[in-house]
Amino acid sequence: MTATAFRCRSSWRQSSATKHGVRRHGTELQMKRDSFQLITNVGVVLALVVLIYEVNQANLHTRAQLADSSFNMGYSQITSIMGENPSAVIAKAVEEPKSLTLSERVVIDAYHQTIYVDLEHRYVLAQMGIFDDTWTISAKSYAQQLAYPAGRIWWTRKRGTSPPDLRDVIDEAINLSNNFIERIQPYEID
């Protein structure tokens, strides 16, 4: 077969193939490729969204751990000041607050500070989204320990340095409480 005949025959095959749907098949193949590319792109975008969400969650978890560590360190330092048996000093502060010595006042200040640090810790974790709004229920119960004369004086001095939302929770707890002293009165046993 001569070169001219081969060229003619191959061009006939090309035009014949085009007439019989090869070009149409190529268009369908391109559409499938485009669809696959679109699905792949959507998958990549979804994967990025999930990755961003996980990074944010890890960041939140890390911030919560740092806040927790910081508060635990402060709490430990404060409780070490209170000593092994602060209950006698707390009882004296309830019964005879004017007779407290300087070292006993330091213990009472540390006692009040532990209450506040715990409340502040709950508040910060709620602000970070770790706790929901129900933290205020336990906070109010805990803050009632400040509802006695020495505790109220301490809170009056500390109040101005507290975040407004936390201040409101503690104010409400102290104002609604009849008195911390009533909670620790002797029990009547039959």
Mean of the pLDDT values across residues 145-172? Answer: 88
Give the pTM: 0.59
In whole angstroms, how far apart are CA 59 and each of 45, 47, 53, 68, 141?
A: 21, 18, 10, 14, 31
Q: What is the residue whose two structure tokens read 């109040």?
A: 159
Provide the pLDDT for residue 15. Answer: 52
> Is residue 77 a contact partner of residue 42, using CB atoms and an 8 Å limit?
no
Query: What per-residue confidence (pLDDT) applies to 29?
Result: 80
Q: Which range, of 10-14, 29-33, 134-138, averages the lowest pLDDT?
A: 10-14
The residues, any chain, with a CB within 8 Å of residue 112's CB and separated by 6 or more, are 146, 151, 154, 155, 158
Of residues 86 and 181, more confidently modeled = 86
The pLDDT value recorded for residue 18 is 52
pLDDT tens, position by position, 19-75 = 555 556 668 888 888 888 888 888 888 888 888 888 777 777 777 676 667 666 666
Write down the pLDDT at residue 41: 86
The count of other CB atoms within 10 Å of the CB of residue 120 is 19
pLDDT value, residue 101:
92
In the predicted model, what is the mean pLDDT of the chain?
77
CA-atom Rg of the chain in angstroms: 37
Q: Give the per-residue pLDDT at 24.
A: 61
Highest mean pLDDT among 48-62, 130-144, 163-177: 163-177
Tokens of 43: 């998958």
Per the structure block, which two tokens stand in for 82? 């209170």
User: What pLDDT was estimated at residue 102?
Assistant: 92
Nearest to 66 by CA among 135, 121, 132: 121
- The residue among 26 and 151 whose pLDDT is bigger is 151
Helix (H, G, I), strand (E, B) or coil at 86: coil
32-35: long-range contacts, CB 8 A cutoff, minimum separation 24 = none
Q: Which of 175, 137, 138, 136 is nearest to 155 (CA)?
A: 175
Q: What is the pLDDT of residues 98-116, one digit of tens each?
A: 899 999 998 998 888 888 8
Distance between CA atoms of residues 180 and 169, nearest Å: 16
